[in-house]
């Protein structure tokens, strides 16, 4: 007799239910450590040692993503702490990266690396020059600068190299002209292109731009006014979804990204004070809403349930359908999240950094399922080969992760946004079943 899925949100006040034959804490830790090691390997191997730039993904002739560079700079200290990288190597990598970024040409030349302190979204891995006629990106620059500031905070020693890290980090942060990107309503523009100017879109509605607004507000040289943050907050949408009332964002990565760098527990802005919440609590609610939708599974998608919540915005698996005759398709890079209106017909689901990574790293251990493993194709089961496996270990680890009273460093920090979606570098390769392929 199978056990019915349990709503984690309904049991926070009590003790965790332990499934039969569940592994103990040491098994959990070993499992997560292996996951971290495999994930961190991307930042060890997919980097140019001279420039410090990191591939957006490992497709042939692919450029670097400045967001990926910011994630790498954030991940190196975690790697040192976890014994995955010597401190000397992390320092050398960080210093090479910051020196290169500081030397990259800035200006309105279409072939430059950036302008007014911002960087283009994609850069050539060797030259650091703009790739693909891409935009000067405010959000990706913010993710880069967040990583730069992590490096400055971590390398706090008195020797010359660590002092240079701090000096270069300060230079890179202080030269970004955040206020130059403000639009007529006070919100920050998505980006700019030489010849055509600012893009027409601005960061409005609750999204991953929380870290962008924080860095822009705190800038010692080019701060945006408080009214800009208020203008952004004025576009928030508070909704009740799956029985939970929270500040809504569809894709789950939005509820995770800014938390890589900021511990939001107990920090309240005006909207959060008005709702008696904070961004940490809100992210927990957003996560539970994703899980509840997957457990309810109104459209009958293959494999949805308590521990499998769908696929977030990522590089794959292309435009294949969930199952023959289904209207819902994957649409590659389109952000995916639970429906936020009853008439919203595109049921895409989203995924946590834990469960999606687990499908890659732990499937071989009989804990979850692999997606697009070598030798398999999409079938009428839905996504891939549906493998029915014993889930007690997955259940125990998921409950342990979701019930913690503090940030789980093994999920947020050492994984460093390994399962959400601003950059394909993560979902396209870190989670690929075959490390040499681009399948997810």
| Residue 61 backbone zone (phi > 0: left; psi -120 to 50: alpha; other: beta) | left
Beta-bridge partner residues of 246:
239
Task: List per-residue pLDDT tens for the chain, 440 residues long.
Answer: 233 333 333 333 333 333 344 456 678 888 888 988 998 999 999 999 999 999 998 888 999 999 999 999 999 999 999 999 999 999 999 999 999 999 999 999 999 999 999 999 999 999 999 999 999 999 999 999 999 999 999 999 999 999 999 999 999 999 999 999 999 999 999 999 999 999 999 999 999 999 999 999 999 999 999 999 999 999 999 999 999 999 999 888 899 999 999 999 999 999 999 999 999 999 999 999 999 999 998 878 778 899 888 776 666 665 566 555 666 555 555 556 776 543 232 223 333 333 332 222 222 222 222 222 222 222 222 322 222 223 334 444 444 444 433 323 332 222 222 222 232 222 222 222 122 222 22
CA dist., res. 147 & res. 290, Å (int)? 28
Structural contact between residues 169 and 115, judged by C-beta atoms closer than 8 angstroms: no
- pLDDT score of 437: 24
Structural contact between residues 367 and 378, judged by C-beta atoms closer than 8 angstroms: no
Task: Give φ, ψ of 148 to 5 degrees.
Answer: -60, -45
- pLDDT score of 25: 66
- pLDDT score of 10: 36
CATH architecture entry for 24-235: Alpha/alpha barrel (1.50)
- pLDDT score of 314: 67
How remote is the C-alpha of 140 from its chain's centroid?
Answer: 12
HEC secondary structure over the chain: CCCCCCCHHHHCCCCCCCCCCCCCHHHHHHHHHHHHHHHHHHHHHCECCCCCCEECCCCCCCCEEHHHHHHHHHHHHHHHHCCCCCHHHHHHHHHHHHHHHHHCCECCCCCCCEECCEEECEECCCCCCECCCCCEEHHHHHHHHHHHHHHHHHCCCCCHHHHHHHHHHHHHHHCCCHHHHECCCCCEECEEECCCEECCCECCCCCCCHHHHHHHHHCCCCCCCHHHHHHHHCCCCEEEECCEEEECCCEHHHHCHHHHCCCCCCCCCHHHHHCCCCHHHHHHHHHHHHHHHHHHCCCCCCCCCCCCCECCCCCCCCCCECCCCCCCECCCCCCCECCCCCCCCCCCECCCHHHHHHHHHCHHHCCCCCCCCCCCCCCCCCCCCCCCCCCHHHHHHHHHHHCCCCCCCCCCCCCCCCCCCCCHHHHHHHCCCCCCCCCC
Q: Where are the domains of the chain?
A: 24-235, 297-440
- pLDDT score of 4: 34
Structural contact between residues 334 and 356, judged by C-beta atoms closer than 8 angstroms: no
Find the angle CA(304)-CA(306)-CA(308) to the nearest 5 degrees.
Answer: 45
- pLDDT score of 388: 27
- pLDDT score of 181: 98
Find the angle CA(79)-CA(82)-CA(87) to the nearest 5 degrees.
Answer: 55
Nearest residue to 316 (alpha-carbon basis) of 336, 342, 341? 336
């Amino acid at each position: 007799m199978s056990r019915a899925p349990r709503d984690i949100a309904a049991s926070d006040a009590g003790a965790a239910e332990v499934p039969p034959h569940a592994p103990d804490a040491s098994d959990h830790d070993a499992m997560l450590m292996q996951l971290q090691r495999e994930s961190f390997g991307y930042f060890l191997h997919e980097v140019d040692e001279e420039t410090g730039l990191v591939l957006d993904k490992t497709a042939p002739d692919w450029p670097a993503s400045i967001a990926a560079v910011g994630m790498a700079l954030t991940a190196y200290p975690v790697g040192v702490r976890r014994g995955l990288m010597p401190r000397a190597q992390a320092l050398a990598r960080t210093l090479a990266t910051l020196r290169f970024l500081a030397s990259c040409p800035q200006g309105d030349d279409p072939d430059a690396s950036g302008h007014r302190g911002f960087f283009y979204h994609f850069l050539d891995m060797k030259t650091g020059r703009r790739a693909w006629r891409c935009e000067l990106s405010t959000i990706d620059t913010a993710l880069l600068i967040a990583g730069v500031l992590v490096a400055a905070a971590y390398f706090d020693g008195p020797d010359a190299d660590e002092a240079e890290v701090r000096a270069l980090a300060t230079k890179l942060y202080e030269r970004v002209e955040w206020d130059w990107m403000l639009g007529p309503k006070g919100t920050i523009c998505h980006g700019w292109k030489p010849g055509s100017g600012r893009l027409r879109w601005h960061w409005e509605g609750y999204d991953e731009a929380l870290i962008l607004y924080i860095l822009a507000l705190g800038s010692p040289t080019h701060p945006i006014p408080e009214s800009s943050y208020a203008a952004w907050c004025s576009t928030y949408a508070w909704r009740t979804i799956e029985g939970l009332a929270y500040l809504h964002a569809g894709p789950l990565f939005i509820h995770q990204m800014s938390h890589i760098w900021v511990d939001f527990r107990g920090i309240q802005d005006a909207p959060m004070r008005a709702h008696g919440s904070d961004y940490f609590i809100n992210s927990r609610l957003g996560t539970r809403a994703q899980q509840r939708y997957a457990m309810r599974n109104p459209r009958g998608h293959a494999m949805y349930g308590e521990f499998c919540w769908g696929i977030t915005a990522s590089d794959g698996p292309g435009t294949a359908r969930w199952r023959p005759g289904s209207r819902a398709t994957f649409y590659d890079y389109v952000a995916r999240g639970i429906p936020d209106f009853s008439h919203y017909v595109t049921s895409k689901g989203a995924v946590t950094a834990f469960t999606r990574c687990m499908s890659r790293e732990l499937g071989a251990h009989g804990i979850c399922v692999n997606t697009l493993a070598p030798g398999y194709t999409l079938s009428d089961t839905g996504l891939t080969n549906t493998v029915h496996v014993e889930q007690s270990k997955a259940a125990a680890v998921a409950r342990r992760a979701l019930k913690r009273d503090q940030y789980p460093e093994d999920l947020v920090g050492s994984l460093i946004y390994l399962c959400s979606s601003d950059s394909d570098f993560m979902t396209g390769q870190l989670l690929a079943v075959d490390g040499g392929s681009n399948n997810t």
